[in-house]
Structure 1
Amino acid sequence: WWHGPIDKVKANMNDVISRYNKPVVLVETSFPFTTENGDSLGNSYSEAGPIEGYSVSIEGQAQYLADIMTLLNELPNELGLGIYYWEPAWLPIDGATWSTGAGMDYSGDKWDMGNSWENQALFDFEGNALPSLKVFKGQ
């Protein structure tokens, strides 16, 4: 949804498969379950309103995941391997960010403390699993 509708993802994956006959994996995909912010750092996605036909809600998140999984399962020659969800468990916890302070010092990549992705996790702000997580079990 970051780069366009699901039919474009499908076309791209079909193109990769037809060119290289290699398996494909959709990496770093996610979908927001809310526009609310759970900490002091702004969210990567905070707009209200639907995204390419999906509501920003737990139900919208679940439907997006189900549609992506269906797309991968329907790719030719069973070459759709799956997805890597980013980031399923990044909760709005004080001091949480992508790295420790020492890691940021080492890499030279300073970042504000906080989490810009918590509204796209598969857990609510208190750490409870969202119903959308059940899509991974086919429920």
Structure 2
Amino acid sequence: MKKLIIATGMLFMAATGCKKYEMPGNTPTTNPILENMIRGADVSWITEMEAAGLKFYDTTGKATDGFQLMKDINMNAIRLRVWVNPAKGYNNTADVVAKAARAHKLGMQLLIDFHYSDTWADPGHQTTPAAWANQDIAGLQTSVYDHTKSVLTALKDKGIIPVWVQVGNETNNGMLWPLGKASDHMDNFALLINAGYKAVKEIDANIKVIVHISNGFDNGLFRWMFDGLTENKANFDIIGMSLYPSTNEWQTPNQQCEVNMKDMISRYNKEIMLCEVGMPASSPVATNYFIRDLYTRLHNLPDGKGLGIFYWEPQAYNRWENYGLGAFDATGRPTFAMDAFR
């Protein structure tokens, strides 16, 4: 997701509000489609934001704990990224466990997102952790296994068992480059996934393992990746996607994403999760429509294999870290975009 933090200003300069949409006058307060769906948020920045003095408020202006606010918005799941040895400490094991404990106390389900890096991992960046830099593929398999097992054990020791675990983040071309770069070494990438998978299942066989790539509208990319992983006997339970359309063009990517999701189910018989979505914070009405439309498409997938959606860092406001795709306004309150989860 780091690519979008850098490029938001350039990519979405044209997203100037909600001119194309009117605020619905009779929007229902509840949506029955959502009842059995994952309604999630990745809030991995939250401890860093709190340390910087930022606060969060409900729609009445009452200061509210960020996790409680997500619960009040009708979120039922939290996603947290994990870095190996991050420079500032945030997203390391201790920080992840502390955030997970807050979500767990509120009865929220948990998705743990392993980046297998000391910093951002995304389609353009899959940098091997410094401590693993000189390892061969066998050593990297051991490191992936040990790191995954260590973090999940720390959670288990607190009585916390995630429902889902991502083995890699937006791995459009594999992870742990260069040895795990899929276009050069699809077999190695499959070995690394299987190392993470093994560690996850040893913690709890019921945890579902996700392979996550971005551009959920790009069926060619998904076929290439999951054909390759299947041929190399990679083990996973769920296909994860990201989707970040522009304000005025979300309908076509949503339609393309639905076609892709149906194809993934037909080809691989896997469940589907939208692990990351987002649109400009300046366009809450369009974002609301975008999310509601996605939920309808997920609901209509064959055999109930559409699991739900995680909004990426909705609580990031005032362009925190130059990110402009949150779903809170400049006062730290959730916008109408978040009503799509009610």
Q: Secondary structure at the match of 2:270?
A: coil
Q: Are the equivalent residues in 1 in contact too, given 2:315–2:334 (CA < 8 A)?
A: no
> Runs of 5+ in structure 2 lacking a partner?
1-244
Q: Are the equivalent residues in 2 in contact too, given 1:28–1:87 (CA < 8 A)?
A: no
Structure 2: which amino acid aligns with 1:128?
A: R
TM-score (norm 2): 0.26
Q: Tell me the equivalent position of 1:126.
A: 331
CA RMSD of aligned residues (A): 2.0
**2: CA distance, partners of 1:116 / 1:74:** 36
Q: Are the equivalent residues in 2 in contact too, given 1:13–1:24 (CA < 8 A)?
A: yes
Q: Tell me the equivalent position of 1:97.
A: none
1:58-86 superposed Cα distances (whole Å, 9 cap, x missing partner): 21111011111111111111100001111
Q: Tell me the equivalent position of 1:76.
A: 302
Query: Which has more helix, going by share of residues?
Result: 2
- Whose radius of gyration is greater, 1 or 2? 2
Q: Tell me the equivalent position of 1:135.
A: 340
Higher relative CO (Cα under 8 Å, sequence separation at least 6) belongs to 1
> Runs of 5+ in structure 1 lacking a partner?
35-56, 94-113
Percent identity over the alignment? Answer: 33
Q: Tell me the equivalent position of 2:291.
A: 65
Q: Tell me the equivalent position of 1:116.
A: 322
Query: Which has more strand, going by share of residues?
Result: 2
Q: Secondary structure at the match of 1:115?
A: helix
Structure 2: which amino acid aligns with 1:81?
A: L
| Within-5 A mapping of 1:93-104 | none
Q: Secondary structure at the match of 1:126?
A: coil
**1: CA distance, partners of 2:306 / 2:256:** 15
TM-score (norm 1): 0.61
1:35-77 superposed Cα distances (whole Å, 9 cap, x missing partner): xxxxxxxxxxxxxxxxxxxxxx221111011111111111111
Q: Tell me the equivalent position of 1:13.
A: 261
Q: Are the equivalent residues in 1 in contact too, given 2:318–2:329 (CA < 8 A)?
A: no
Structure 1: which amino acid aligns with 2:329?
A: D
